[in-house]
């Protein structure tokens, strides 16, 4: 009987196959988790649609300077009926006086105060609950004291997401554009996270939102029993609540340049690292499907870059590796350009491949250091 000769496959060929398989995975990842945002067609409400009343809720702890600067931008929104509820959470600065002074000018500003308790310490979630209980409207829109809206149409565009009985509206909480590499890295990280969770929601698979720009109904909050399942966790008043309450039927996105909020990015790597550590404490409590979706993206990225470095070691695969890497960069830039324009971050896409590599190096450092950092307050 004739047996064909066995052709030996070298390590270089196996690594090349692994490289192109990971490349294919990355391209599919970009198509499914970033491109939906880039190709989304924003549909405005008809002029005949009457906007529903909205309560904007802001939790503030020692935020006198930020409130003095940013609160007026929220109070002058071009919207027929809304209130702004500011929760003064145990502030020891002039936060209360700032709110009181603005309340003399704006009758739609409401202050709710939480007094310091020597025996009971609490996080931001209590402030959010108090704010929700103090709100008089069912539609709630959340932002932070250090955030400001893109313009006076923010409330209108975010509230438009409640159309067709939607109960959750996911917005984009950006960081202000400033000089320096760290600012661009933080903004790219924020953009990439938003591109993923907004694209997922667009596809009907929402899994998170950010409290800097998030809306949901009071009815849904009570139906989900608020934060009862994760009240013991310091963070998660935004992403964990959305993760447990969102669905294809009840979640919408607000993607327009008007619907963006901005805040000031951290100016040092140490401060940003601590902020990321606090945010990452909620990740283990996501649903299994959400964790799988998030981890798959990172695994594909690490697999691609590690296999790329491996095939560079062989002369026989060097050209193929470079071609594959260039293909990846070109594909990435095309998709990221579309998505970044949607979120008014057009200065980031051209160097997106570089920022992405930096984040792949930085993220393990943050995750490891998180083991030794135990945040004990909701502001950090």
CATH number, position 119: 3.90.550.10
Residues 244 and 109 both lie in one domain:
yes
What band does 334 get if pLDDT is binned at 50, 70 and 90?
very high
**Percentage of residues of the chain with pLDDT beyond 90:** 72
Residue for token pair 């145990």:
90
Residue 121 has pLDDT above 80, yes or no: no
77-113 burial: b if 16+ Cβ within 10 Å, else e: bebeebbbbbbbbbbeebbbebbeebbeeeeebbbbe
With a CB cutoff of 8 Å and minimum separation 6, the contacts of 363 are: 298
Residues 34 and 58 both lie in one domain:
no
| 136 lies in some domain | yes
CB of 51 within 8 A of CB of 141? no
Residue for token pair 């932002």:
143
Domain boundary among 267, 301, 318: 267
Mean pLDDT of the region 195-209: 96
pLDDT, tens digit (0-9, with 9 covering 90-100), for 227-236:
999 888 888 8
Q: What's the order of all strands across the beta sheet hosting 139-144? A: 109-114, 82-89, 54-60, 139-144, 214-217, 168-170, 251-253
Residues 218 and 333 both lie in one domain:
no
**To the nearest 10°, the Cα dihedral for 75, 77, 78, 83?**
-50
CB of 90 within 8 A of CB of 65? no
| 275 lies in some domain | no
| 376 lies in some domain | no
Residues 326 and 358 both lie in one domain:
yes
Q: Where are the beta strands (DSSP E) in 199-258?
A: 214-217, 251-253
Residues 126 and 221 both lie in one domain:
yes
What band does 46 get if pLDDT is binned at 50, 70 and 90?
very low
Residues 256 and 319 both lie in one domain:
no
Domain boundary among 267, 300, 330: 267
Residues 30 and 125 both lie in one domain:
no
Residues 23 and 62 both lie in one domain:
no
Residue 380 has pLDDT above 90, yes or no: no
Parent domain of 251: 54-267
Mean pLDDT of the region 194-215: 96
**Which residue would you say has higher pLDDT here, 355 or 283?**
355
Residues 69 and 102 both lie in one domain:
yes
Alpha-carbon span 47 to 30, nearest angstrom: 35
Residues 69 and 205 both lie in one domain:
yes
The count of structural domains within the chain is: 2
């Amino acid at each position: 009987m004739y047996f064909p000769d066995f052709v030996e496959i070298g390590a270089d060929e196996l690594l090349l196959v692994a490289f192109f398989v990971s490349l294919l995975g990355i391209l599919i990842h970009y198509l499914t988790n970033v491109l939906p945002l880039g190709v989304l067609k924003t549909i405005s409400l008809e002029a005949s649609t009457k906007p529903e009343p909205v309560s904007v809720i802001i939790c503030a702890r020692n935020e006198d300077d930020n409130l003095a600067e940013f609160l007026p931008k929220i109070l002058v929104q071009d919207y027929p009926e809304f209130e702004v509820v500011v929760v003064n959470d145990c502030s020891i600065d002039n936060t209360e006086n700032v709110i009181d002074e603005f309340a003399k000018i704006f009758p739609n500003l409401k202050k709710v105060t939480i007094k310091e308790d020597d025996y009971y310490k609490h996080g931001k979630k209590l402030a959010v609950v108090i704010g929700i209980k103090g709100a008089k409207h069912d539609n709630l829109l959340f932002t932070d004291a250090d955030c400001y809206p893109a313009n006076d149409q923010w409330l209108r565009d975010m509230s438009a997401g409640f159309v067709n009985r939607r109960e959750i509206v996911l917005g984009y909480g950006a960081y202000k554009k400033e000089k320096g590499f760290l600012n661009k890295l933080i903004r790219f990280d924020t953009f990439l996270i938003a591109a993923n969770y907004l694209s997922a929601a667009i596809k009907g698979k929402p899994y998170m939102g950010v409290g800097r720009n998030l809306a949901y109904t009071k009815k849904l909050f009570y139906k989900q029993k608020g934060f009862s399942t994760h009240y013991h966790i310091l963070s998660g008043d935004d992403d964990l609540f959305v993760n447990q309450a969102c669905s294809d039927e009840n979640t919408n996105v607000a993607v327009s340049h008007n619907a963006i909020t901005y805040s000031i990015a951290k100016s040092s790597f140490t401060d940003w690292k601590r902020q990321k550590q606090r945010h990452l404490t909620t990740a283990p409590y996501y649903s299994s499907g959400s964790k799988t979706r998030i981890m798959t993206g990172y695994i594909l990225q690490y697999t691609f870059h590690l296999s790329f470095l491996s095939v560079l070691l062989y002369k026989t695969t060097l050209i193929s590796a470079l071609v594959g890497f260039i293909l990846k960069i070109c594909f990435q830039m095309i998709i990221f350009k579309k998505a970044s324009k949607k979120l008014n971050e057009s200065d980031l896409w051209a160097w997106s491949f570089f920022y992405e590599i930096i984040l792949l190096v930085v993220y393990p450092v943050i995750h490891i250091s998180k083991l030794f950092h135990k945040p004990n307050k909701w502001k950090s």
